Amino acid sequence: MVRGGFFLFVVALTAPSLAVAETISFGDSAAQLAKACGADITANCRGVNLDSNRLKECLSRNRDVISPQCKESYFSTLDAIQKRIAARVTVANACTREIVKVCGGSTKETSKSVPCLVSAKGLSRNCAQAINDAGYQ
């Protein structure tokens, strides 16, 4: 019984945090929207420039006539994209020490330090998690 308890303790310590942001790549999000909302976009948003803001406005404006599958998928996909964007902003805060000390960069230009951060060894756990959530790895 002691071994079983110890095993569960080790698993609990090494398991990823439940607070990890579930993000989605921009390409995957477009594929999901096309699959779930393609017919709705064609029927209700014809002639609309398909950037994210205009598409969001069009689908919101036609909320009462789009399919339930599109409504469900659209909002969850948009939420995942917002988490990805927030995670990319978080990299600057979570990796401040690594950007300056390991990569010799500036926290004002985090994007220039991303390649260094991705290949660097010995990053803090918070920094490594932020890089992962942001989709850089």
The average pLDDT across 82-111 equals 85
Instruction: Report DSSP letters for the chain, one per residue.
Output: -HHHHHHHHHHHHHSPPTT------HHHHHHHHHHHHHHHHHHH-TT---SHHHHHHHHHHTTTTS-HHHHHHHHHHHHHHHHHHHHHHHHHHHTHHIIIIIT---GGGHHHHHHHHHH-SS--HHHHHHHHHTT--
Q: What is the mean pLDDT of the chain?
A: 77
Give me the pLDDT at residue 52, please: 67
Give me the pLDDT at residue 111, please: 80
Give me the pLDDT at residue 50, please: 66
pLDDT for 18 beyond 70? no
Give me the pLDDT at residue 115, please: 92
Rg (C-alpha) for the chain, rounded Å, is 20
pLDDT for 7 beyond 50? no
pLDDT for 3 beyond 60? no
CA dihedral 67, 85, 117, 30 (to 10 degrees): 30
pLDDT for 6 beyond 80? no
Q: What is the pTM of this model?
A: 0.59
The average pLDDT across 23-27 equals 72
Degrees (nearest 5) of the Cα angle 15, 21, 109?
A: 115
Highest mean pLDDT among 3-12, 82-91, 121-130: 121-130
The whole-angstrom distance between residue 105's C-alpha and the CA centroid of its chain comes to 24
Residue located via tokens 């599109």: 70
